[in-house]
Amino acid sequence: MTTRILRRFTVPLLVVAAAGCASGPRVRYGDPTKVETLTEQYGSTDLQGIAERMVQSLVRHPAISGGNRPVVQVSTVKNKTTEHIDTKTITDKIRTALIKTGMVRFTAVSDANREMLDNLEYQEHSGVVSKASRKRVGRQVGADYLLYGEIDSIVKRAGRQSDVYYKFTLNLVDVETGLIEWADEKEIRKESTKAVVGP
Amino acid sequence: MNHVPAIALLILVLACGRPANRLEYGIEPPSDSRIVVHDRLAVRHGEVHTRREGLIQHVQVELVNDGASDEAVEYRWEWMDAEGFQLGDTISSWQPVVVAGKAHVLLTGAGPGPAAVNFRLYLRRPAR
């Protein structure tokens, strides 16, 4: 009896299984602002939290909120963790948010200085650009401040438990005096517990 | 003897019922209409302070956990100008916070620009 039932349903079950396996991966758009907890590694929520914290803190400082619209250059943010973290995405996010406030100006020297110099060279010497609209060399605005920082981590594992602590530090330094005018840090802790069975 | 496979299966289902590598970050309806709660939360909001510092509006909202165990909450800010237009949505991501038992935390927000004068704070329980 059991063998007869198994024989009757084996082929239909195999067909259903094959149909399920034959379909391609299912893709759908997700919410870029949702909290991501796929793994304990650095992720989008950490990036967003760090940027928001730094911007909130920076706009309070007199150097930024004084109304002078200082010129800031983004320097290096070092990754001192053992993970691959593109720290430029953090500074890009901070820079975009600050520009949107209208309180700060950023120089593109760090990102596009070569392109700007090439363009000035082209405008000056190609003979194609009209004299009236030509931009002159030697008029670039110098940065008042430099933004630099680092991200560190401490990773601990014990059995099925993992604890990852991140600390992101950012500094605003006066280019002329060398004084650090503003500094802040964002701490993140992520705890992970592996399931008893499975990966 | 016949129950052994069923018990083994039950244990397996219970053990696998939790997602692998489950990661954890560490309400009564709010009385302030600027605070929007998506789910029933075991925390309540306390004092709400707003202040303009220079060109930017800053907000501080207290979250209070009257219970004994830690509560995980997600929050995000939305900012509007004087006419009610939403501003700066790219800066308002959901962020996790854990309110320890019998403790409170302060959620701070800053407007994305000088035009931001009104805010809404959204609270929800983390998705499992």
A16-25, A114-123, B62-71: least confident range: A16-25
Say if B113 falls within a structural domain. yes
Q: Which among B23, B54, B56 has CB closest to A37?
A: B23
3-state secondary structure A17-59: HHHHHHCCCCCCCCCCCCCCCCCCCCCHHHHHHHHHHHHHHHC
Say if B92 falls within a structural domain. yes
**At B92, which CATH number?**
2.60.40.3230
Contacts of B126 in chain A (CB under 8 A): 35, 37
Cross-chain Cβ contact B110/A195 below 8 Å: no
Q: Give B31→chain A minimum CA distance, Å.
A: 26
Cross-chain Cβ contact B26/A49 below 8 Å: no
CATH class of A39-107+142-192: alpha beta
Q: Averaged over B69-78, what is the pLDDT? A: 93
Cross-chain Cβ contact B16/A32 below 8 Å: no
The percent of residues in chain A predicted with pLDDT above 90, rounded, is 74
Q: Which among B25, B96, B113 has CB closest to A102?
A: B113
Domain positions in chain A are: 39-107+142-192, 112-139
- Report the C-alpha gap between A173 and A144 in whole angstroms: 9
Identify whether the C-beta of residue B102 lies closer than 8 Å to the C-beta of residue B69.
no
Q: Which among A34, A101, A197 has CB closest to B12?
A: A197
- Domain interval for residue B31: 27-124
pLDDT number for residue B80: 92
Q: pLDDT tens-digit profile of A17-39?
A: 666 666 678 899 988 888 999 89
Say if B17 falls within a structural domain. no
Say if B91 falls within a structural domain. yes
Query: Strand A161-174 vs strand B118-124: parallel, antiparallel, or unpaired?
Result: unpaired
pTM of the shown model: 0.81
Say if B49 falls within a structural domain. yes
pLDDT number for residue B23: 45
Say if B110 falls within a structural domain. yes
Number of domains in chain B: 1
Chain A stretch 58-87, residues whose beta carbon is closer than 8 A to a beta carbon of chain B: 59-60, 65-67
